[in-house]
Structure formats: C-alpha cells, structure tokens
Structure 1
C-alpha cells in the first residue's frame, strides 16, 4: 500500500524474502541454495500510519511472477510501483512457485506439479499444461480480489493502520495487470477476457491465440531474441487486438532482466552472474550496472504515471502526475529500450 512519508509513524525492517524461499531462489539463480544472495537483503516499510487511510483512493495493480519463481523476486519493482500510488498485489501460486511459506503453516513446495521452465518463453499457450497453469492462476487472482472486496480484509492485514470509516475496500471495478513470462501470458489473457481490466503489460511472455476481435489495451515488452515476429501466437493475436497495442524491445536482455534479479545480483556479488541475465546495461552506462534494473522500472512506472494517474482521482501529493514520463525514459534509456519495429525481408 502507498503511504506518504509524513503519514508514517513507524518503520519496520523486513527480509527481502523468507528463509526457505531465499534458499530456493539462491538455487534457482545461482546453483547453490547456500549462495548467500537473497537471504542478505532487507528493506524498510511503513507499519503504522498517523493519518487516516482511504483504501478506495488508489487503483489496484496485479503483478504476476514468472512460472516456478517466487513473487519476492519482484519485491523492489512492486514497491516502486506502489510508491507511485497503487495498491500492488503479488501472488505466490501454490504448486507453481518453487516454495510458498505461509505464516504458521507448513511450506508448500512445487514437487514437480508444474514443470514449465521459468527461463524459457512457455508456448503455445493452448498447450494443456500451460493452459491449466494460466487458468489456475486466474482463479487464484479472482480469489484474492474477492478478499480485497471485503471490508475487514485490510484492517486484518494491517492492524496498526487507521482507516477512514467505511473506506477499507480496495477498488476492484477497474484493474491493471502486469506479469512476467507465464505471468505476462496471464496478464494478456485477462486483458482479453475480463472487462474490469483497463490495460495489461506482458514482460517477455507469449500470448493466447485469439481469432475474434477484442477491445484491449495490450502492452508487450519483448527482447532482442524474442519479439512478436518470433512467436506465431503473437503474430495471429495482434491481428485481432482492436484496442491500443504497443511493443517494446529490451536490447540484449535475457528472460530475468524483467525482474529484480539484475539489481540483486549486482548489489550482492557483481562477479557472480545470475542465470537468466543478459547484458543490456552495456548499451547504457557500463559504470552503472544497476541501470539494467532502472531502465525497466522507469518504463513500468512511466506507464502508470502516463496512463493511470491522469484518469484517477488521487491525492495531489503523489509523484505520479503525468509529465510525459515515457518520453523521459526514452531519453534516459533509449539505448536499451526501443519502440519495436518489425522488419520483413522481400524476396
């Protein structure tokens, strides 16, 4: 939840992710559960407010992780989006995420229930296992949304917060959905089928194939080795998107440059390169490896500022007021993130 600095009465130190999840993520990205990367990270958050909180004052953004990947690998991206004035929900899907740790309960491990590869683009989306994983995730998302529509949910989750009387429900009549990999496929699917969804952002994920026109606002971030021209599903689907559609190319990126991983990897051990990372920052500033992360976060925040804030009744103290944020990102990181142009050869 977004909390203004002047309205925060108490800060709490948080682990970046729980202990067993950190071990699983160390193994996934560094080949050793004792690599000592994710378990070293901490961040502070506001745990008590001094002002009344208006829950319906901020829009709801669903942020879906890649398959077989912890939602905590997107913690910093989610925090930065929330700081622009959004309720951000990240979800670990049991038997999909490598491990899910619930307070007071035994952890749930994947144990091979979902065998899709997080480091590859999972396609075709109508494949039986992929479709089942997407449908399960969408059911989970709807379950979470139903909880957020209950008046007692936020007061229970944030017991030290004071809420405006009768204003404890997150607004769910309009949704914004962002996802990475399979999570991006989930986002795109919801954009095509859920009338509550205003726009979707798909980070390096495939698309469901549609053969009838849909009115959807669809944003797709590809990369040098994976764009819409490399995916027959995207090629077919783009013919039927009647709403706005935008594609970006993240040059020299690999699949997990669309996460916190490039930032985490360079903060903890710059010489121990994580699996799933490319080298896009060399196109920007080789002396600033965190530019890889900042390029992506800039564009995600810019979409929120340029396309959500102007049409939302929000507090004027928010930093999200639109000032051509996307154009500023192009000015800063245009060497790495480019508007996509598909070239076709002629015989």
Structure 2
C-alpha cells in the first residue's frame, strides 16, 4: 500500500524473502541453494499509520512473476511502483512456483514438477502446458481479486492500520496488470479477455493470438533477441489492438533483466554471475550494473504515472510532475531502452 513516510507511526524490518524461498531462488539463479544471496537482503516498511488510510483512493496493480519463479524476486520493483500511488499485489502460484511459504503452515514445494523454462519465452501460449499454466494463473488472479473486494481482507493483512470511515475495500472495477515472461502473457491475456483490465505491461512474454479488436492499453517490452518480429503471435495480435499499443526493445538484455535480479546480485556480491542477466547497463553506465534495474523501474513507474494516474481520481503520491515521465526515462536510459522500430528489410522481403 502507498503510505507517506510522514503518515507512518511505526516501521518493521522485513526479510527480502522467506528462508526456504531464498534457498530455492539461490538454486535457480546461482546454481547453489547455499549461495547466500537472497537471505542477506532486508527492507523497511510501514507497520502502523497515523493518518487514516482510504483504500478506495488508489488503483489495484497486479504484478505476475515469471513461470517457476518466486514473486519475491520482484519485491523492489513492486515497492517502487506502489510508492507512485498504487495497491500492488504480487502472487505466488502453487501450481508452478518452486516453493510457496505460508506463516504457520507447511510450504508447498514443486521441485521441478513444471517443465516450462523461466529463462525462455514460453510460446506458443496455445501449447497445452503453457495454456494450462496461464489458465490456472488467471483463476488464481480472479480469486485474489475477490478477496480484495471483501471488507475484512486489508484489516487482516494490516491489523495495525486504521482506515477512513471503515473504507477497506480495494477498487476492482478497473484493473491494471503487469507481468514478466509467462506472467506477461497472463497480463496480456487478461487485458484481451477481461473488460475490467484496462492496461497491461508485458515484460518479455508472448501473447495469445486474437482475431477480434480489443481496446486495452497494451505495452510490450522486448529485447534484442525477442521482439514482436520474432513472434508470429505478436505480429498477428498487434493487428487487432485497437487501443493504444507501444513496444520497446531493451538492448543487450536477457530474460531476467526485467526483475530485481540485476540489483540484488550486484548489491550482495558483484562477483557472482547470476543466470538470466545480460549487460544493458553497458549502454547506459558501464561502471554501474544497477542501471539495468533502474532503467526498468523508471519505465514501469513512468507508464503508471503518465497513463494510469491522469485517468484516476487522485494525484500521484510522489512529488513532481506525472506527465512526460516516459520521456525523462528515455533521456536517462535511452542508451539501452529503445522504441521498437520494425525491420524494414524484413517487411520488404515479406511483401515481395
């Protein structure tokens, strides 16, 4: 939840992720459960407010992780998005997450039961296993949305918070979604099929093929080895996106440059090479690998500020202008993040 620091009466120290999840993530990205990377990180959060909180004041943004990947690998991206004025929800899906830990309950572990590869684009989405994973996730997302429509959900999660006039329901009539890899496919799919979802960002994920026009604002971040021109599903679907659509290409990026991983790996041990990372920072700040993370965060926050907040009922929580934020990010990080331009030579060959 977005809470002004001045409106916070008490703070809590939080592990970046639970212990068993940290071990599973160490194995996924560093090849060793005992690598000791994710366990070292902590962050501070508000645990008690001094001003009443109006839950209906802020939009709901659902952030979907890649297949077989913990939602906690996106903690900092989610926190920074929330600071702009959003309820941000990340979801662990027991069907495909490597492990899901619950307070006071036994964890759910998959141990490789899902064969889809988080380090690759999971396509086509019509593939039986891929479609099953997406459909299961959509059902999970809808269950989470239903929970936030209940008046007692937020008070249970935040027992020390007080709410304005008992206003504890998160607005769900209009939804916004963001996802990475297969999570991006889930976000795009719901943008096409669920009229509540007005706006989606897909980070290096494929799309279902649609044959009828849709209106959702559709944003796609690809990379040099994966653009819409590399995926016939995107090529066909883009013809039917009647609402705003935009595509970016992240130069020298790999699949997990769209997560917290570039920041985490550098902060804990710059000498440990994490699987799934490229070198986009070399085109922005060769001496600072965290530029890879900062660029992604900047663009995600900017699209929220430029395209969601103006149509919402409140001003952004952070000071400063909400418009032209994307252009500012382009000025800072444009060395690696480029507006996608179709390959005219390929288009010419297709037309001949």
Match of 2:12 in 1: 12
3-state SS of paired residue (1:45): strand
Match of 1:281 in 2: 281
The answer to whether the 8 Å contact 2:138/2:186 transfers is yes
| Counterpart Cα distance in 2 of 1:29 and 1:316 | 35
| Counterpart Cα distance in 2 of 1:333 and 1:241 | 27
Match of 1:333 in 2: 333
Count of residue correspondences: 347
The answer to whether the 8 Å contact 2:121/2:181 transfers is yes
| Counterpart Cα distance in 2 of 1:259 and 1:191 | 21
The answer to whether the 8 Å contact 1:7/1:51 transfers is yes
| Counterpart Cα distance in 1 of 2:82 and 2:156 | 20
Aligned residue runs from structure 1 range 37-76, under 5 A: 37-76=37-76
> Shift of the alpha carbon at 1:95?
2.7
Residue 144 of structure 2 corresponds to residue 144 of structure 1: yes
3-state SS of paired residue (1:308): helix
The answer to whether the 8 Å contact 2:305/2:316 transfers is no
* Larger displacement relative to structure 2 (74-83 or 319-328): 319-328
CA RMSD between the two structures = 1.1
TM-score (norm 2): 0.97
Change (3 A) 1:161 1:95: same
| Counterpart Cα distance in 2 of 1:59 and 1:183 | 20
Change (3 A) 1:320 1:177: farther
TM-score (norm 1): 0.98
| Counterpart Cα distance in 1 of 2:283 and 2:317 | 35
- Following TM superposition, the consecutive aligned residue runs of length 4 or more in structure 1 with deviations greater than 6 angstroms are none
Segments of structure 1 that go 5 or more residues without pairing to the other structure are none
Segments of structure 2 that go 5 or more residues without pairing to the other structure are none
* Larger displacement relative to structure 2 (247-256 or 316-325): 316-325
Match of 2:164 in 1: 164
| Counterpart Cα distance in 1 of 2:265 and 2:258 | 13
Match of 2:314 in 1: 314
The answer to whether the 8 Å contact 1:119/1:255 transfers is yes
Change (3 A) 1:103 1:320: farther
Write the deviation string for residues 111-155 of structure 1: whole angstroms up to 9, x where unpaired: 333210000000000011101100100100000000000001101
| Counterpart Cα distance in 2 of 1:54 and 1:179 | 26
Change (3 A) 1:150 1:91: same
| Counterpart Cα distance in 2 of 1:173 and 1:191 | 13
> Shift of the alpha carbon at 1:217?
1.2
